[in-house]
Structure 1
Amino acid sequence: MGELRRRLGLGDAVVVGLGAMVGAGIFVALGPAARAAGAWLLAALGVAAVVAYCNATSSARLAARYPASGGTYVYGRERLGPFWGYLAGWSFVVGKTASCAAMALTVGLYVWPEHATVVAVAAVVVLTAVNYGGVRKSAWLSRVLVAVVLAVLAGVVVAGLGGGAVARIADGGHGGVLGVAQAAGLLFFAFAGYARIATLGEEVADPARTIPRAVPLALGIALVVYALVAVAALAALGPDGLARSAAPLSDAVRAAGAAWLDPAVRVGAACAALGSLLALVLGVSRTVLAMARDRHLPTPLAAVHPRFGVPHRAEVVVGVVVAAVVAVADVRAAIGFSSFGVLVYYAIANASAWTLPGASRVVSGLGLVGCLGLAGTLPWQSVAGGAGVLAVGIAVYAARRR
C-alpha cells in the first residue's frame, strides 16, 4: 500500500491551513452569524476563536506525537480506542464531504450563476486532478489562491473602514448569550481549516517541530483577517444590515461607496471557495486512506501512487462522490450540518489530548466543553441531521463488529 512522502515544510503547511480557513466561510458566514448575535457579533467571533485555539493546541500536540494521515481518526483510535477513532473519522468524512459540495457550488454561483452545477462539477474534477499530481502542486495552488483572497479582503477592509461609520458597529439589538453561542458555532465553520495541517501529518517534514508551529501561525493569521473583515462589514452595514445580507462583503463595499470593488469581491469569493475545496479534498482523502488501512472502508482505498506519492484511489473516489452530490442536491445550507460534525470531531480530539502525559488539561478540557456546548446550540435542524448521521455511523460500526 505504501507510505506518503514528507514534502511539506512550514510555509507549505501554513498556506494549506490558511487556504482552508480564509476560504468561502468569511464570504457567507457573517450574515447568519449576525442574525444570531446581532451587535455582539465580535463577541461571538472571540468565543469561536477561543474554542478554535484550544482545538488547534490539542490537535498540534497530538499530530506531533502521531504524525500519520487521518488526524483525529488516528488520535482517537490510539488514545481512546477504536470506536472513538472511527466516530471521529465518520464525522469528518461525512460532514466535510457536504462541505466540499457546498464549496464547489459556491464557485459555480459566483463564476456562472446560470450554470452553477456545471461549473461546480468542473471545479471538483480539476482540483481532484491537481491533488492527484502530488501534494506539492496542491500547496503551490493554495499559495496563489490565498494571495488573491487576502488581497481582496484587504480591499474590503480599507473600503469598509474608510467610510467613517465605525460607530455603526454597536448599533442594533443583540441575541443574548444563546445568540452569541449559536453565532460562534456558525463562525467555527470558517476556523476549522487548521485540521488540514494535522490531517496531512504523514506528508509534513519534521512533523514534531513543524506542525506545532504551523497550526497556531495559520490560526492567528486567520483570526486577524476575520476580525478586520467583520469590523469593516459592521462599519459599512451595521449589525441589522449585515444580518439581512445574503452576500455580506459585496453589500459592504457597495454601502461604503466602493461598488467598483464588487467584481473583485466575487472573484475573491470564487478563489476562496476553490481554496477551501482544494484543502477539503486533501483532508477527506487522507482520512479515507487512514480508515481504509484499518478496514473501516474498502482496503483498495489505502493504495498510495508509486510516482506521485498520494492516496490516488481515495482522492478519485472522494472527487466522484462530491461531484455526484453537487449534481443532484442543493447543499448551500450545509454550514450548520458541517459545523456539527466538525465540533464532534474536535471534541474527540480534545478528549484524546486530555490523556497525553504532561498535557495541559485546562486547554483540552475547555476545548472539549466548548465543542459540545457550541454543537448543542446550533440550529435544531443541524443538530438533528448531525445526530442522525452519527447514529447511522454507529449502527454500521456495530454491524461490522458483529
Structure 2
Amino acid sequence: MNIIGTFILSIALVAAGGVGSEALSETSSPLSVAASQFTFPGVVFIIALGATTAMLGVLLSQIIGISRMMFAMSRKNDFPTFLSNIHPKYNVPHIGILLSGFIIVLLSIFGTLEFIVSAASFTILLYYSIANLAAMKMKEEDKLYPNWIPILGLITCLSMAVSLEFMTIISGISLLVAGFALRWGVQKLSIRS
C-alpha cells in the first residue's frame, strides 16, 4: 500500500473510531462530523479547508480530463469538430477546456450535489467496468498484471453499480442515453455535411 492509501485508511480508522461507522453513514459530510468531536480549536476549519482544496483539485482534473476526452471524441466525429482545435500558443484544446469549465459551472449553480454525485457514481463504475473488460482482452505480452485482477475489478465495479439506489441507477442510465443520443445526432449531422 502506498503512502496516500495508508493516509486515507488512517483517516477512515480515526473517523470511525471517533464517532462510529453508523454516525458517519448517516451524513453527507462524515469528516466534518468526526472533526467536530475533537476539542482542539480550528479542527473543523482545517478539515473544511482541506475538503475545499481537494474538491477544487478534483474539479480542475475533471476540466482537464473532460476537455481531452472532448478533443479525442471530436477527432472521431463523435463530438463537433471545432472541439479538436488546438490553441496556437499553448498547444491545448482551449475550446474544450472552456466548454467543460462552463458546463461544470452550470452544474454547480443549477444542479444538486446529490444528483451529480449519484449519476456520476453509476456512470464511473460502468466506465471502470469497461476499462477492466478492455484489460482482460489485451494481449498477454502487453499486460502488466495477471488476468484475475481485471476480472476482480470488473466483478467489483458491476456489483457496486447494481447495488446503488434505484434512482441513482436511473439517473446514470438517463445520462448514458442522453450521451448516446447526442453522439448519434452529431454523427448524423457530420455525415450530411
Q: Report the TM-score when normalising by structure 2.
A: 0.85
Relative to structure 1, is the Cα distance of residues 221 and 309 closer, same or farther in structure 2, using a 3 angstrom cutoff? farther
Is 1:353 aligned with 2:139? Answer: no
Relative to structure 1, is the Cα distance of residues 327 and 256 closer, same or farther in structure 2, using a 3 angstrom cutoff? closer
Secondary structure at the residue paired with 1:283? Answer: helix
Is 1:374 aligned with 2:156? Answer: no
**Which residue does the alignment assign to 2:4?**
222
**Which residue does the alignment assign to 1:89?**
none
Deviations along 1:165-203, one digit per CA (max 9) or x if unpaired, are xxxxxxxxxxxxxxxxxxxxxxxxxxxxxxxxxxxxxxx
The equivalent position to 2:94 in structure 1, one of 312, 328, 333, is 312
CA distance, structure 1, for counterparts of residue 172 and residue 29 of structure 2: 26
**Which residue does the alignment assign to 1:253?**
35
Is the 1:303–1:312 contact (alpha carbons within 8 Å) kept by the matching residues of 2? yes
Relative to structure 1, is the Cα distance of residues 333 and 237 closer, same or farther in structure 2, using a 3 angstrom cutoff? farther
**Which residue does the alignment assign to 2:171?**
385
Is 1:292 aligned with 2:78? Answer: no
Letter in 2 for 1:377: S
Secondary structure at the residue paired with 1:289? Answer: helix
Relative to structure 1, is the Cα distance of residues 226 and 325 closer, same or farther in structure 2, using a 3 angstrom cutoff? same
CA distance, structure 2, for counterparts of residue 385 and residue 255 of structure 1: 35
The Cα shift of 1:241 comes to 2.3
Secondary structure at the residue paired with 1:223? Answer: helix
Letter in 2 for 1:318: S
Secondary structure at the residue paired with 1:255? Answer: coil
The equivalent position to 1:324 in structure 2, one of 99, 103, 106, is 106
Relative to structure 1, is the Cα distance of residues 328 and 242 closer, same or farther in structure 2, using a 3 angstrom cutoff? closer
Which is bigger in relative contact order (C-alpha 8 A, separation at least 6)? Answer: 1
Relative to structure 1, is the Cα distance of residues 346 and 305 closer, same or farther in structure 2, using a 3 angstrom cutoff? same
Relative to structure 1, is the Cα distance of residues 283 and 250 closer, same or farther in structure 2, using a 3 angstrom cutoff? same
Q: Structure 1 unaligned runs (5+)?
A: 1-218
CA distance, structure 1, for counterparts of residue 128 and residue 162 of structure 2: 14
CA distance, structure 1, for counterparts of residue 160 and residue 34 of structure 2: 28
CA distance, structure 1, for counterparts of residue 184 and residue 134 of structure 2: 22
CA distance, structure 1, for counterparts of residue 14 and residue 136 of structure 2: 38
CA distance, structure 2, for counterparts of residue 298 and residue 366 of structure 1: 37
Secondary structure at the residue paired with 2:91? Answer: coil
Is the 1:250–1:265 contact (alpha carbons within 8 Å) kept by the matching residues of 2? yes
CA distance, structure 2, for counterparts of residue 241 and residue 282 of structure 1: 35
Q: Structure 2 unaligned runs (5+)?
A: none
Q: Report the TM-score when normalising by structure 1.
A: 0.43
Letter in 1 for 2:63: V
Relative to structure 1, is the Cα distance of residues 364 and 273 closer, same or farther in structure 2, using a 3 angstrom cutoff? same
The Cα shift of 1:363 comes to 1.6
Letter in 1 for 2:148: V
CA distance, structure 1, for counterparts of residue 112 and residue 179 of structure 2: 23
Secondary structure at the residue paired with 1:334? Answer: helix
**Which residue does the alignment assign to 2:51?**
269
Relative to structure 1, is the Cα distance of residues 260 and 279 closer, same or farther in structure 2, using a 3 angstrom cutoff? same
The Cα shift of 1:357 comes to 1.0
Sequence identity (%)? 28
